[in-house]
Amino acid sequence: MKLSSCTAVAGTNIALVKYWGKRDPALNLPAAGSLSLTLKELGTRTTVRFGSHLGSEDRVRLNGRDPDDSTRTRIGTFLDLVRERAGITAHAEVVTENSVPTAAGLASSASGFAALAVAASRAAGLALLPTQLSALARRGSGSAARSIFGGFVEMQPGVFSDGSDAVAESISEGDGWGIRLVVAVTSEAEKAIGSTEAMERTARTSPFYASWLESIPGDLQDARAAIAERDLHRLGAVAERSAIRMHASAMAATPSILYWTPATLAAMNTVFALRDRGLAAYFTIDAGPHVKVLCEQDSVSEVNTALTATPGVIRTFTTSPGRGARILHETTA
């Protein structure tokens, strides 16, 4: 197999029907499906080069720095999967840059592992299909499986124990609709508890976990229909309740998992007030305190103004639907 250097890019994605719970933690198999929007403005660019001259360790640079130990281990474990599949033993040099603004909880692992799956598999001489890339990216982070595809994407939980059918698929490119996601950054701090540990605790201790899982198939069906009809009110209503239910199940865990801050609640109330004024704006919240507001292009400036004036909101920026992960360039070593 020919080893090369490969640079790939991927946009992050924000789930409108959330993934929160695993049926197999080792293989990162989700307990239920999820549905997301891949974004253009927030993403990762990663270059991978395998070579026997690189010595006995993978070398990783993340945003121009050495990553912390747990990130390095996570990337090394992921590269082991690629090496095993390609039948190589060489270590790799990985250079990765996030265009995600410096704020925690803005889903850099989704674009990060999607870009790494594309760049590393290609650099190792593999030619994987998008579905295979999605299954590979999932091993790095559950949400990364969705960033292989652009626009609106649905993740299948799958039924096989090897996870080969736990992959994402494209539903609609999402362009032409003019949908936007305005992100309200509410904190610069690291998130309190990572998603893997939080999901595990929710599944083990939350009395709401079973009903959370039961609610997902109906939400997926509703979201699919809303996208087909380009009905923002219907899609936004699903997104908002999915986020609230996900957080409610986590809050009810022992010890409680609470990602919201006063600024999160203030931004949620801003969105309710915008809707009272007749504006189609709906929020979603991930495993962190930031609030992401779904709206149409024409409403962006009003949403932006209202969020900027909300106590505790540090800044806002606007994102739009983007393409799936792809190779930027490759060279044969």
Taking the least distance from each CB to ligand PMV, the nearer of 141 and 206 is 141
Paired strand residues for 317: 183
Taking the least distance from each CB to ligand PMV, the nearer of 14 and 120 is 14
- 175: its two tokens: 């362009």
Q: Which residues contribute to the site for ligand PMV (CB under 6 A)? A: 15, 18-19, 34, 107, 109, 141-143, 195-196, 286-287
Using an 8 Å Cβ cutoff, are 333 and 200 in contact? no
- Which position has the token pair 């960033």? 147
CB of 111 to ligand PMV, least distance (A): 11
Taking the least distance from each CB to ligand PMV, the nearer of 43 and 274 is 43
CB of 243 to ligand PMV, least distance (A): 9
Using an 8 Å Cβ cutoff, are 164 and 28 in contact? no
Q: How far is CA 127 from the centre of its chain?
A: 24
Q: What is the C-alpha to C-alpha distance for residues 260 and 286, in angstroms, rounded to an integer?
A: 10
Taking the least distance from each CB to ligand PMV, the nearer of 227 and 287 is 287
Taking the least distance from each CB to ligand PMV, the nearer of 6 and 199 is 199
Report the candidate in 46, 23, 13 with the shortest Cα–Cα distance to residue 326: 46
**322 half-sphere exposure, CB direction, 13 A CA radius:** 24
Q: What are phi and psi of 93, to 5 degrees?
A: -105, 125
Map residue 6 onto helix, strand or coil.
strand
CB of 79 to ligand PMV, least distance (A): 18
Taking the least distance from each CB to ligand PMV, the nearer of 180 and 247 is 247
Helix (H) / strand (E) containing 304: helix 300-308
Taking the least distance from each CB to ligand PMV, the nearer of 76 and 178 is 76
Using an 8 Å Cβ cutoff, are 175 and 11 in contact? no
Map residue 123 onto helix, strand or coil.
helix
Taking the least distance from each CB to ligand PMV, the nearer of 16 and 182 is 16
Using an 8 Å Cβ cutoff, are 19 and 30 in contact? yes
CB of 301 to ligand PMV, least distance (A): 27
CB of 129 to ligand PMV, least distance (A): 21
**124 half-sphere exposure, CB direction, 13 A CA radius:** 24
CB of 110 to ligand PMV, least distance (A): 6
Q: ∠139-140-142 over CA atoms, to 5°? A: 70
Taking the least distance from each CB to ligand PMV, the nearer of 142 and 151 is 142
CB of 138 to ligand PMV, least distance (A): 9
Q: In angstroms, what CA-CA distances link 183 with 49, 106, 144, 223, 320? A: 34, 9, 19, 21, 11
CB of 49 to ligand PMV, least distance (A): 26
CB of 86 to ligand PMV, least distance (A): 24
Using an 8 Å Cβ cutoff, are 121 and 82 in contact? yes
